[in-house]
C-alpha cells in the first residue's frame, strides 16, 4: 500500500531538525503545509471518511473561532499555550479557497484532516504526548 500524500508530508516535516523536538512547532508546520497543498486537500476530499461524513445528514459542524484550541482525547485535554484559531489562521477558509467549495465541504474536509493528523500523532513510535488533538475550536459533531 502506498503512503498517502498527507502522511508523506507529515513524515517529512517530522524529520526536520528544527521541528524534531518541538511538537507545538511541528503541529503548526503540519497544519500550514497540509492546508497549502492542493494534492493533500484533494486526497482528503476523495477519502472514504469525507464521503461518509458528507452523506450523513446527522452531522453538523459549528465553530467558535475565538475559543481556545483544544479537543479532548479520552480523559485528557491538550492545548497549545492558550492559542486560538486566529493565532494560526482560518483553516476552513484556506480549504474553501484551494478547493473552491462550499462552507460545509470545507468544514468536513477540515474535520477529516484533523482526524488524520490526530491519528499520526497518536500512532507515532516515540510515544511522546500529542501536543494538541484538534485545532478547530468549538468543533461539534452532532
Is the pTM higher than 0.85?
no
Please state the rounded mean pLDDT for residues 104-112.
81
pLDDT for 64-93, tens place per residue?
Answer: 555 544 333 333 333 444 444 444 445 677
Given this model, what pLDDT does residue 96 score?
Answer: 82
Please state the rounded mean pLDDT for residues 29-44.
85
Show the 3-state SS of the chain. Answer: CCCCHHHHHHHHHHCCCCCCCCHHHHHHHHHHHHHCCHHHHHHHHCCHHHHHHHCCCCCCCCCCCCCEEEEEECCEEEEEEEEEHHHHCCHHHHHHHHHCCCHHHHHHHHHHHHHHHHHHHHHCCCCCCCCCCCCCCCCCCC
Reported as a pLDDT band with limits 50, 70 and 90, residue 46 is very high
Amino acid at each position: 500500500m502506498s503512503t498517502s500524500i498527507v502522511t508523506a508530508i507529515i513524515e517529512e516535516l517530522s524529520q526536520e531538525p528544527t521541528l524534531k523536538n518541538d511538537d507545538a512547532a511541528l503541529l503548526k508546520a503540519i497544519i500550514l503545509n497540509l492546508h497549502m497543498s492542493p494534492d493533500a486537500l484533494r486526497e482528503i476530499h476523495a477519502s472514504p471518511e469525507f464521503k461518509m461524513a458528507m452523506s450523513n445528514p446527522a452531522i453538523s459542524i459549528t465553530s467558535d473561532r475565538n475559543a481556545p484550541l483544544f479537543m479532548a482525547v479520552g480523559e485528557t485535554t491538550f492545548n497549545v499555550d492558550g492559542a486560538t484559531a486566529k493565532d494560526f489562521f482560518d483553516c476552513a477558509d484556506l480549504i474553501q479557497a484551494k478547493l473552491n467549495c462550499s462552507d460545509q465541504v470545507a468544514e468536513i474536509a477540515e474535520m477529516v484532516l484533523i482526524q488524520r493528523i490526530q491519528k499520526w500523532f497518536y500512532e507515532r513510535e516515540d510515544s511522546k504526548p500529542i501536543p494538541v488533538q484538534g485545532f478547530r475550536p468549538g468543533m461539534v459533531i452532532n
